[in-house]
Every structure is written in C-alpha cells, then in structure tokens.
C-alpha cells in the first residue's frame, strides 16, 4: 500500500493547474489586524510566517511531488524557502484575469488545497492562512517558480506586486523559491530563534517520511541542521525514547486506510512512569487531542484488558485496567491524514471529525491484538507493568482516603514544620520552600509573618519522575509540600484550594541547591501543573557571594564576577618592571588585561591537558609561546588571545 505520508515522486503526473486554484476571500484586513491571522505580532507570529511557507512545500511532499526543502535565515533576518516540488501554477486564471501565482500570493485562502480539483487531497497548510498572509506582512517578498520549462519571477512589497510576472531562463527543474523579509513596522522583533525552527522542522520531517529538510542559519551563530527520516513516526518514537529504557526491543507500528482517511501509529513502552502520547492531523500537532486520540486510547485499553483476561494477568475478581494504567511509560505517535479536517477547541488544535474515532479504534484494536498474540514475551512485560500500575493506583487511592479521614478527625493537617503566615487571603500569601531546618530558621526570622510562610525540606526530596504515585504520596517531604499548598494532586487537584498564590523555591546557589530546586519543580509540574500554568510558582535567585566593604554590601551571582573584582583590587596599584629591559612596564589596565588573558590561557591549557594529556601543552608552549619576547607586551597579549 502506498504511504500517503511519504515524500516520494509520483509515478504519474496528477493535474495541478490554474483551474485548481480556488479563491475564498480577499486580503484587505491582514495588515490592519495581523494578530487575527497569525496569532500575534511577537516571536510566535514571526515564526508562524516561516511555518506557512514551509507548509506549502510539505503539502507538495504529502502529494508525492517534493523530496527536499531548504530553509535559510539570512543575516538581514530575511528567510528563503526552496523546494523541488511542482512549482506554483503561473498560467492566467480566467475568472481572475491574472496569473495563478499572483492570486496565490495576494488573495487570502487562495490555493490548491481549498478546491475539489487536482491540487491536494491532504494538506497541513489548511490549518494556516496561506502564503498571501506572509506576503502581506513582509516588507519585501520575491518568488521564483520553476515549471513548464522556464523560471518565473515576481516581487512584492507589503503584499502588492511591483510588476507583472516575468518569464526567465529555460530550465528542466521544478520547484518554488520564496524569499521574504518580515515587516519591522508589524513585528515586535525580527529575530528568529534557530532552536524553535529546528524543533518544528525535525517534527515535520518525522511526520513526512523521506522528506529531507535542511535549516541553515547564515547569521553570526552559523548553525545548520538536516533532517530526513525514512522510518517516519517509528523514528519519531525512537527519538522520544532516546534517553529512556524501553521494555520492548522494537517499536510497534501499523497503519490503516479507509474513506475516513489514513492513520499511522507507532508506540513503545519504557520503564518510566510517565505517558508521552502525541497526536497529529495532517502534520498539525493536535495538542488538545480529538477523535483520533480518543479512538487510540479506547482501543489500547480494550485490547490490553482483553489480553490480560485471556492470559490470566487479571483474575475474575480483579477490576479492569484503567487507561492510565495501560499508558504508564507509553511513548506513542498517532498521525492521521484526512481530506477535510475539522478543528475545534480554544486554540483550534483538537480534531473534531467524528468518523475518525471509530476508524482509528478499529485499526488500533485489530493490529494491537495481533501484536499481543504474536509476541507473548513482550506482551508479558507490557501487561506486568500495567498491572503494577493498577496496584500502585489502588494503593495511592487508599493513601488519599486515609489522608482525608485523618483530616476530618484532626481538623488540621498542616505539617508541623510549616511556619505559616497569618493572612487568610491566598492572593496575598507567599510560601517560601527552603533547604533544611537551619535555612528555615533564618528565613523564619527574616520573613514578614503576616504574608510569608516558610516550609523547610530536609535533604533532596523524592524524584517523582521515577516514582509511582503510591510512593510519591508515601514520602514525608512530598506529603508536607502537597499538604502545605492545599490543592491536592492529579484527579483531586483543585486550584481554588491553593493556600498561597506565590510559591517560591528558595534554595542555595550551588549544585545541591539546583538539584533540590529541580526535584521540587518536577513534583509541581507532574502532580500540580496548573499551579505553574497559573503563574503561582517562582524561583528565587540567591547570590553566590556577598562582598562587604565597610558598611556596604555587594552581591555577586557568578564566580567570574568575584575573580574580576579581586583581580582589580589586587592589581590596582601594582607596577611590574623588567630589570634587563627598562622600557618594559606593566601598570593598571594593561596589567589587568594581561592577567585576565593569562587566566584564559590557563583555562585553555587545562582543557587541552584533560583532552590530550600534558604533552600537547608542553609542545605548544615550546613551539609557539616561547618565540614571543616578554618585552613585547602587546604582542604577547595578542598572541595569547589569538592562539588560546
């Protein structure tokens, strides 16, 4: 069966001509209200411009006509996207009286993905607004199309064509090149983030099997990234599980196709206790899930419960495994392709097509059941993990019930070591989480008793990322934190019960302090995530050193700051002379600069010794450094700087 999601050249030419372009509406309001079309005029909206142009190339790949896309960020913040697809049609549209290329570039929602002709059956760009919005919000845009035996070019300024389409040189190549410079009058910043683009393009390459995507940054950083995954979403799951311990040898993968569309699924369990399931529709990340994800989850739970009953993993008196039990440690990617996706939800990232649920459910249930029967050893590992998760869930439920009963009896469950504040309004209350009782004592002495509470934690708390919920709830330090905050966790979480609207992690400015802070953040993220989303969680940044001179104090965050000050103090009134060379003299700024460079040299030498042994440093010193004459101070400084 042909892979619809693959980036392969079509064996036969399908039609994609001027008559396939359908106009939905004009472009008048884009520059007036850009946020309506790209979300914002901040960094998110800026990056969205790149995604819109990239999506056009990916649509060509999904249709089987594009194998490579290159995205280049230029030093002036302009961006070029080049693909080897069929090229945007350039013939004149009878209804519009102008070239299809100009219509695509100047009319909102004009493109081969909106009609019923031979343009695109599947499109990720439909979720967006089209390349015309990129044109409207760019100071300048240049497009080159290679098709019909020639290169065709046209330029635009803020959405308006600067002239008619020009017929260029003859060429047998096909494809489209678009270069655009975002308009500084529209966007708050023109600084594109390489990492953000890299992550998006890696994800796109995983979802478009065989498509090569190259990202080049010509700015000062000079980064380059290249992605191509013949394994598609199987490679995606391997990437997601890269630093985890899989309990299966291979990634389970299967696919299905019907009149509803097509679906690909790849999944693998690992030894962790967290679920990592990602769903996509036409390459769009459906963050809010939808019908395809519901179908997957239902089939997964049903198939594993059926197998568990048949193979006696569950006895007759045992309850069925819950969805959270079978998904513990699961990494999965569900990629649906359909002709007419319906997106719902607050951010339009939830697939609403009702037929996809039963379709995906039937495919996953049948194929997963086959896998379980054909791979008894791996199935046993998966079911054992799910049963253990169910037992832990039951133990956690008992622990929560016990806590509730204890609360009702004692009427107060606040931990004894909590130094609470007196204010009753949670919006005014602050909770400082500190290291140990000694730090707690100092913080209690310095706090405002009316609004500031102090909770000392003893040692490094439990790593909840590697622990089941029953162990989490059984840990005294974790329980103290959960109780002090007051919201409960997971299904019992209620942000309205938060006793503080500012929770501050106040740990030492050393490695241990950073570790404790990370563990506390992990607990809050995994068990009480809405607190972070609501902006209730803060990190205090204590200084590394306090420098005292008389009655004045100065606080320093970094080791380098202290070295700079100490060197400055010690060298301020020092003068160095060479008895043999009366012209040689080091004072003030030159002496500080020379000392600083020598410290850099010392660091570089230490790094070389660590990597290559002492011999390499000795050789470099003898071969190069000792050639310099100490009387030539500026020359030595330049040499150290140049050859470090």
Q: Is the pLDDT of residue 184 over 70?
A: yes
pLDDT above 70 for 376: yes
Tokens of 224: 């380059």
Q: Which of residues 353, 388, 423 is at a domain's end?
A: 388
What lies within 8 Å, CB to CB, of 424 at 6+ separation is none
Q: Residue 438 above 80 pLDDT?
A: no
Tell me how far apart the alpha carbons of residues 348 and 344 are, in angstroms, rounded to a whole number.
5
Q: Which three-class secondary structure string do you get for 276-325?
A: EEEEEECCEECCCCEHHHHHHHHHHHHHHHHHHHHCCCCCCCCCCCCHHH
Residue 570, pLDDT above cutoff 80: no
pLDDT at 631 over 90: no
| CATH number of the domain that residue 460 is part of | 3.40.50.670
Judgement on whether residues 343 and 327 belong to the same structural domain of the protein: yes
**What pLDDT, on the 0 to 100 scale, is given for residue 614?**
62
What is the reported pLDDT for 13? 53
- Note whether 205 and 273 are same-domain residues: no
CA distances from 323 to 246, 381, 579 (A): 20, 17, 83
Specify the CATH number for the domain of residue 23. 3.30.565.10
What per-residue confidence (pLDDT) applies to 604? Answer: 67
Share of the chain above pLDDT 90, in %: 46
What's 265's domain CATH number? 3.30.230.10
| Whether residue 620 sits in one domain with residue 511 | no
Instruction: List the catalytic residues.
Output: 435, 508, 510, 512
Contact indicator for 105, 111 with CB cutoff of 8 Å: no
Asked if residue 626 has pLDDT above 50, the reply is: no
| Banded pLDDT at 161 (limits 50, 70, 90) | very high
- Lowest-confidence segment of 25-39, 72-86, 179-193, 471-485 by average pLDDT: 25-39
pLDDT at 140 over 90: yes
Last residue of a domain, one of 227, 251, 284: 227
169 or 18, which is more confident?
A: 169
On whether both 478 and 597 belong to a single domain, the answer is no
Instruction: With respect to residue 426, please indicate whether it lies within any of the assigned structural domains.
Output: yes
pLDDT band at 468 (very low <50, low <70, confident <90, very high): confident
More reliable by pLDDT, 36 or 21: 36
290-309 mean pLDDT: 95
In angstroms, what CA-CA distances link 128 with 4, 39, 144, 343, 594?
21, 10, 22, 11, 56
* Residue 256 pLDDT exceeds 90: yes
Cα–Cα dist 110/93, whole Å: 12
Q: Is residue 547 in some structural domain?
A: no
Closest CA to 106 of 58, 165, 146: 165
- Check residue 18 and give its pLDDT: 67
How much is the pLDDT for 190? 92
pLDDT for residue 624 is more than 60: no
Torsion angles phi and psi, residue 594, rounded to 5: -65, -45
pLDDT attached to residue 114: 43
What lies within 8 Å, CB to CB, of 203 at 6+ separation is 236, 285
Q: Is 25's pLDDT higher than 70?
A: no
CA 282, CA 120: separation in Å to the nearest integer? 12
Q: Is 13 part of any domain?
A: no
d(CA 598, CA 132): 56
CA 598 – CA 596 distance, rounded (Å): 5
| The pair of three-digit structure tokens given for residue 466, joined into one six-digit string | 């590697």
**Structural domain boundaries, residue 171:** 18-227
Does one domain contain both 450 and 359? no
Tell me the CA distances in angstroms from 553 to 546, 550, 582, one per residue in order.
7, 8, 42
- Model pLDDT, residue 316: 84
Q: What is the pLDDT of residue 35?
A: 84
According to the model, what pLDDT value does residue 395 have?
82
Side-chain half-sphere CA neighbours of 354 within 13 A:
0
Q: Stretch 252-277: mean pLDDT, rounded?
A: 93
Q: Is the pLDDT of residue 527 over 60?
A: yes
- The yes-or-no verdict on residue 12 having pLDDT over 80 is no
Same domain, 245 and 354: yes
∠ CA(19), CA(136), CA(58), 5° rounding? 55
223 & 241 share domain: no
> How far apart are alpha carbons 511 and 39 in whole angstroms?
40
pLDDT band at 346 (very low <50, low <70, confident <90, very high): low
Mean pLDDT of the chain: 82
Choice between 502 and 20, residue whose per-residue pLDDT is larger = 502
Q: Strands 430-435 and 452-457: what pairing?
A: parallel
610 vs 464, residue with greater confidence: 464
Q: Which tops the pLDDT comparison, 561 or 480?
A: 480
In percent, the amount of the chain with pLDDT more than 70 equals 76
**Has residue 562 been placed in a domain?**
no
Which pLDDT score is estimated for 437?
Answer: 67
DSSP E strands in 512-607: the ranges are 537-539, 545-549, 552-556, 575-577, 585-587
Domain shared by 214 and 239, yes or no: no
The pLDDT score that the predictor gives to residue 356 is 93
**Is there a single domain that holds both residue 175 and residue 199?**
yes
Q: Is residue 58 part of a domain?
A: yes
Report whether pLDDT(141) > 50: yes
Which of the two residues, 502 and 221, has the higher pLDDT score?
A: 502
Do 30 and 171 belong together in one domain? yes
Q: Determine the pLDDT at residue 644.
A: 44
Pick from 370, 388, 406: which residue ends a domain? 388
94 belongs to a structural domain: yes
Q: Which of these ranges, 327-331, 376-380, 390-394, 593-597, has the smallest mean pLDDT?
A: 593-597
154 lies in a domain? Answer: yes
Minimum mean pLDDT range among 49-63, 121-135, 354-368 = 121-135
Residue of higher predicted confidence among 186 and 6 = 186
Establish if 398 belongs to a structural domain.
Answer: no
CA dist., res. 18 & res. 37, Å (int): 25
Dist. CA 586–CA 594, nearest whole Å: 9
Mean pLDDT value across residues 174-187: 95
Per DSSP, 108 falls in state T
Question: How many domains is the chain built from?
Answer: 4
**How many angstroms separate the CA atoms of 299 and 383, rounded?**
15
Is the confidence at residue 601, as pLDDT, over 80?
no
Average pLDDT of span 190-195: 93
Gap between the Cα atoms of 562 and 121, Å rounded: 63
For residues 81 and 38, which has the higher predicted lDDT (pLDDT)? 81
pLDDT at 120: 52
**Same structural domain for residues 442 and 511?**
yes
Q: Mean per-residue pLDDT for 432-456? A: 83
Q: Are residues 264 and 210 in the same domain?
A: no
Q: Is the pLDDT of residue 302 over 70?
A: yes
């Amino acid at each position: 069966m042909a892979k619809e999601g693959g980036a392969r050249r079509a064996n036969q030419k399908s039609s994609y001509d001027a008559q396939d372009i359908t106009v939905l509406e004009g472009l008048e309001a884009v520059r007036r209200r850009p946020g309506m079309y790209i979300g914002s005029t901040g960094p998110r909206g800026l990056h969205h411009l790149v995604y819109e142009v990239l999506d056009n190339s990916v649509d060509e790949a999904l249709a089987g006509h594009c194998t490579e896309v290159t995205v280049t960020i230029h030093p002036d913040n302009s961006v070029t996207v080049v693909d080897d697809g069929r090229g945007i049609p350039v013939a004149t549209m009878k209804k519009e009286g102008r070239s299809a290329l100009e219509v695509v570039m100047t009319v909102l929602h004009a493109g081969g993905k909106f009609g019923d002709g031979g343009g695109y059956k599947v499109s990720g760009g439909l979720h967006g607004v089209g390349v015309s919005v990129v044109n409207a919000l760019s100071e300048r845009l240049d497009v080159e199309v290679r098709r019909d035996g020639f290169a065709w070019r046209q330029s635009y300024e803020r959405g308006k064509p600067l002239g008619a389409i020009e017929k260029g040189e003859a060429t047998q190549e096909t494809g489209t090149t678009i270069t655009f410079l975002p308009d500084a009058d529209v966007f708050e910043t023109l600084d594109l983030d390489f990492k953000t683009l890299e992550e998006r393009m890696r994800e796109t390459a995983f979802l478009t099997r065989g498509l090569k995507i190259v990202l080049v940054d010509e700015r000062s950083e000079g980064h380059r990234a290249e992605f191509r995954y013949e394994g598609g979403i199987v490679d995606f799951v391997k990437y997601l599980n890269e630093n985890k311990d899989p309990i299966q040898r291979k990634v389970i993968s299967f696919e299905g196709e019907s009149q509803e569309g097509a679906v690909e699924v790849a999944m693998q369990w690992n030894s962790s206790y967290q679920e990592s399931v990602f769903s996509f529709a036409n390459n769009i990340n459906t963050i809010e899930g939808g019908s395809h994800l519901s179908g997957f989850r239902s089939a997964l739970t049903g198939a594993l419960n059926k197998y568990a009953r048949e193979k006696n993993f569950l006895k007759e008196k045992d309850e069925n495994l819950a969805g959270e039990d079978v998904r513990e440690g699961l990494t999965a990617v569900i990629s649906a392709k359909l002709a007419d996706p319906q997106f719902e939800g607050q951010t339009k990232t939830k697939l609403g097509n009702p037929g996809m649920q039963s379709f995906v459910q039937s495919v996953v249930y049948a194929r997963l059941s086959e896998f379980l029967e054909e791979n008894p050893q791996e199935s046993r590992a998966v079911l054992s993990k799910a049963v253990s998760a169910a037992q832990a869930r039951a133990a956690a439920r008992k622990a929560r019930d016990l806590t509730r009963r204890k609360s009702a009896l004692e009427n107060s469950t606040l931990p004894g070591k909590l130094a609470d504040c007196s204010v009753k309004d949670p919006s005014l209350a602050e909770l400082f989480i500190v290291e140990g009782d000694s730090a707690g004592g100092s913080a209690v002495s310095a706090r405002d008793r009316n609004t500031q509470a102090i909770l000392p934690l003893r040692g490094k708390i439990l790593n909840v990322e590697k622990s089941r919920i029953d162990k989490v709830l059984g840990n005294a330090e974790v329980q103290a934190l959960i109780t002090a905050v007051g919201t409960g966790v997971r299904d019992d979480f209620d942000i309205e019960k938060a006793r503080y609207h500012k929770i501050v992690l106040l740990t030492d400015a050393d490695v241990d302090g950073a570790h404790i802070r990370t563990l506390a953040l992990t607990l809050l993220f995994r068990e009480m995530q809405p607190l972070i989303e609501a902006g209730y969680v803060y990190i205090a940044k204590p200084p590394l050193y306090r420098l005292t001179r008389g009655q004045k104090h100065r606080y320093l965050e970094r080791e380098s700051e202290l070295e700079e000050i100490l060197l400055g103090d010690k060298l301020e009134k020092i003068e160095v002379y060479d008895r043999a060379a009366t012209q040689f003299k080091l004072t003030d700024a030159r002496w500080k600069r020379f000392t600083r460079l020598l410290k850099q040299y010392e660091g570089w030498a230490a790094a070389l010794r660590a990597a290559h042994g002492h011999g390499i440093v000795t050789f470099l010193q003898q071969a190069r450094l000792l050639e310099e004459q100490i009387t030539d101070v500026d020359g030595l400084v330049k040499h150290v700087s140049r050859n470090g």
